[in-house]
């Protein structure tokens, strides 16, 4: 073509011009600015307003932060050091962070609380880590191992001794390895997750190991019944026997059993009273136990609400709507004021346990709605497929429906946990010493009277660094699970 043209029409160009660079205003930093910040009048106004807001915030807050005092023993001392300049007094955090984190927990066993938290992360692995790549597993395993090292090496060395330190390091090395080799060690990690609640109770509250063990044995009874009885007396019969057996065990035999075993094989660690639990640790304890304990109940309620048995359905709906219809604070006041009315006279267990019971009921209603969402999201074909295989209701739930429904409910459950975790601050109002109540206590103290921003910022920061990653993780998981199902 070009050949022809070159001969016939002289003025037609037969070679391409070299490609010109895009104009400078369209590329690089300037192009990006034009595109993203100044693409039109409205956009420009928004940019200017945003810049103004940022500048205003920085000039209002930065000097205060920059001048902050980290070491002082009272607010007056702090003000002397500041000498009239504007500045924060974070010395209150330096002085009191232990209280705000651990409450009145004995200082020499802080390590128990810390390692329980770390074990919680290990226990969460089988629940939260779905189809993780080898690299991600390696990162998680390394993080947990490094954290355990930090905890051992940190201020807790003196409390656990050299042997304890080596044992703990070995334990977490084993866990890290198990997490990395997740596909092969899955059963082991799941078993650990199931054991963890009892381990947590023992590690946090201390005392004889036989208390948690005898509580665990009740569940073992349920498990054994579920495994061996159905062929003999059918599903319903097995369920009834399991529940009745476990209840009899817990109510009448468990305490005697633990007392007897305690006298035969006394194995106990330093006991801590519930009153000593406080600070941020208390929020974690209430939040985690609330969600963990509420899950079974939540699943049952969700199934009840989906069920076509009228009475079961009605009871589930009534429970869920009642709990979701009243503020959590009224339930907490129920725990502190009313629960003693409802229980047999003379029953008097401590306020923390009462709070955990009510929080569990509260979380159960929300988890039930989340699980119901998961159940509803499953295509009908799954139910029909299970039916066509001839599975009965519980078999199809256990083998087909629940594994899928629970998996897609996990992000929702994590979100419920975030909400519940933030709401645990409400226990302040019934007199438990959580982190927020410690801010009140510190402000009531003569040394720190009149300080508030520093404390609020610390509390807010603690919640933010806990909730923000969880929220992001749940969002990420949601996206991942959504693509799985396509």
Give, as ranges, the residues between 141 and 180 that touch other proteins (CB under 8 A). none
- 329, HSE (Cβ side, Cα atoms, 13 Å): 6
Name the one range near other proteins by CB under 8 A: 85-93, 197-205, 370-378, 380-388.
380-388
For residues 307 and 284, give the distance between their C-alpha atoms in angstroms, rounded to a whole number.
34
Q: Which of 72, 286, 436, 481 contacts other proteins by CB under 8 A?
A: 436
Q: Which of 387, 398, 479, 485 contacts other proteins by CB under 8 A?
A: 387
Q: Which of 195, 297, 338, 378 contacts other proteins by CB under 8 A?
A: 338
Name the one range near other proteins by CB under 8 A: 133-141, 170-178, 402-410, 423-431.
423-431
Residue 97 makes contact with other proteins by CB under 8 A: no
Contact 111, 156 (CB under 8 A): yes
Residue 300 makes contact with other proteins by CB under 8 A: no
Structure tokens that stand for 95 in this block: 């002085």
Task: Give me the residue label for tokens 């036989």.
Answer: 210
For residues 433 and 412, give the distance between their C-alpha atoms in angstroms, rounded to a whole number.
29
Residue 321 makes contact with other proteins by CB under 8 A: yes
Q: Which is nearer to other proteins, 32 or 228 (CB)?
A: 32
Q: Which of 163, 231, 341, 381 contacts other proteins by CB under 8 A?
A: 341
Cβ-based neighbour number of residue 328 at 10 Å: 18
Q: Which is nearer to other proteins, 52 or 174 (CB)?
A: 52
Residue 312 makes contact with other proteins by CB under 8 A: yes
For residues 187 and 133, give the distance between their C-alpha atoms in angstroms, rounded to a whole number.
18
For residues 122 and 261, give the distance between their C-alpha atoms in angstroms, rounded to a whole number.
29
Contact 427, 332 (CB under 8 A): yes
Provide, rounded to whole angstroms, the least separation between the CB of residue 54 and other proteins.
7
Q: How far is CA 189 from CA 112, 119, 132, 230, in A?
A: 21, 11, 15, 27
Residue 431 makes contact with other proteins by CB under 8 A: no
Residue 422 makes contact with other proteins by CB under 8 A: yes
For residues 439 and 96, give the distance between their C-alpha atoms in angstroms, rounded to a whole number.
10
- In degrees and rounded to multiples of 5, residue 268 shows phi and psi of -145, 160
Maximum CA extent, the chain: 113
* Binding map of other proteins across residues 18-37, x = CB under 8 A, - = no contact: ------------------xx
Residue 54 makes contact with other proteins by CB under 8 A: yes
Q: Which is nearer to other proteins, 193 or 336 (CB)?
A: 336
Residue 228 makes contact with other proteins by CB under 8 A: no
Beta bridge mates, 103: 277
For residues 428 and 253, give the distance between their C-alpha atoms in angstroms, rounded to a whole number.
36
Q: Which of 4, 55, 220, 326 contacts other proteins by CB under 8 A?
A: 326
Q: Which of 460, 476, 482, 484 contacts other proteins by CB under 8 A?
A: 460
Provide, rounded to whole angstroms, the least separation between the CB of residue 151 and other proteins.
25
**Count of H-run helices and E-run strands, the chain:** 22, 2
Residue 423 makes contact with other proteins by CB under 8 A: yes
Q: How far apart are the first and last CA of the chain?
A: 50
Q: Which is nearer to other proteins, 43 or 445 (CB)?
A: 43
Residue 476 makes contact with other proteins by CB under 8 A: no
Angle, alpha carbons 275-280-284 (nearest 5°): 90
Cβ-based neighbour number of residue 307 at 10 Å: 13
Provide, rounded to whole angstroms, the least separation between the CB of residue 47 and other proteins.
6
Task: Give me the residue label for tokens 């609380």.
Answer: 113
Q: How many residues bind other proteins (CB under 8 A)?
A: 62
Residue 58 makes contact with other proteins by CB under 8 A: no
For residues 167 and 151, give the distance between their C-alpha atoms in angstroms, rounded to a whole number.
13
- Interface positions with other proteins (CB under 8 A): 36-37, 39, 43, 46-47, 49-51, 53-54, 234, 236-237, 308-312, 315, 321-322, 324-330, 333-334, 337-338, 340-345, 383, 386-387, 393, 396, 418, 422-423, 425-426, 428-429, 436, 452-453, 456, 459-460, 463-464, 467-468, 471
């Amino acid at each position: 073509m070009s050949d022809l043209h070159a001969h016939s029409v002289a003025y037609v160009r037969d070679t391409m011009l070299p490609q010109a660079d895009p104009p400078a205003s369209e590329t690089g930093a300037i192009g990006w600015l034009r595109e993203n910040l100044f693409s039109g009048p409205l956009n420009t106004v928004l940019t200017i307003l945003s810049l103004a807001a940022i500048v205003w915030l920085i000039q209002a807050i930065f000097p205060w932060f920059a001048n902050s005092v980290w070491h002082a023993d009272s607010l007056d001392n702090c003000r002397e050091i500041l000498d009239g300049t504007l500045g924060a007094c974070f010395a209150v955090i330096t002085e009191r962070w232990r209280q705000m984190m651990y409450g009145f927990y004995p200082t020499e066993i802080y390590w128990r609380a810390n390692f329980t938290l770390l074990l919680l992360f290990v226990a969460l692995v089988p629940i939260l880590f779905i189809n993780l790549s080898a690299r991600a597993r390696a990162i998680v395993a390394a993080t947990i191992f490094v954290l355990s090292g930090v905890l051992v090496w940190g201020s807790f060395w003196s409390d656990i001794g050299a042997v304890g330190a080596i044992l703990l390091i070995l334990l977490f090395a084993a866990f890290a390895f198990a997490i990395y080799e997740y596909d092969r060690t899955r059963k082991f990690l799941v078993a650990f997750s199931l054991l963890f609640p009892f381990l947590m109770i023992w590690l946090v509250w201390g005392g004889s190991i036989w208390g948690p063990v005898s509580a665990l044995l009740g569940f073992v009874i349920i498990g054994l019944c579920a495994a061996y009885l159905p062929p003999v007396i059918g599903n319903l019969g097995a369920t009834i026997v399991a529940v009745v057996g476990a209840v009899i065990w817990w109510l009448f035999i468990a305490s005697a059993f633990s007392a007897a075993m305690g006298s035969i094989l006394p194995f106990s660690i330093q006991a801590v009273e519930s009153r000593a639990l406080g600070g941020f640790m208390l929020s974690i304890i209430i939040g985690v136990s609330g969600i963990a304990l509420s899950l079974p109940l939540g699943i049952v309620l969700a199934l009840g609400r989906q069920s076509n048995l009228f009475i079961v359905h009605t009871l589930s709906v009534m429970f869920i709507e009642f709990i979701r219809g009243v503020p959590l604070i009224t339930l907490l006041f129920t725990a502190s004021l009313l629960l003693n009315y409802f229980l047999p006279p003379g029953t008097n267990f401590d306020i923390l346990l009462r709070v955990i019971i009510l929080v569990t009921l509260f979380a159960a209603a929300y988890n039930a709605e989340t699980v119901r969402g998961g159940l509803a999201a499953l295509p009908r074909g799954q139910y029909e497929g299970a039916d066509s295989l001839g599975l009965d209701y519980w078999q199809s739930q256990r083998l087909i429906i629940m594994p899928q429904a629970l998996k897609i409910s996990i992000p929702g459950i994590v979100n419920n946990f975030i909400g519940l975790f933030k709401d645990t601050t409400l226990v302040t109002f019934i007199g438990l010493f959580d982190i927020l109540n410690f801010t009140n206590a510190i402000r009531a103290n003569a040394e720190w009277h009149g300080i508030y921003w520093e404390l609020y910022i610390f509390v807010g920061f603690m919640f933010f660094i806990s909730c923000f990653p969880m929220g992001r993780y749940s969002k990420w998981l949601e996206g991942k699970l959504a693509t799985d199902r396509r």
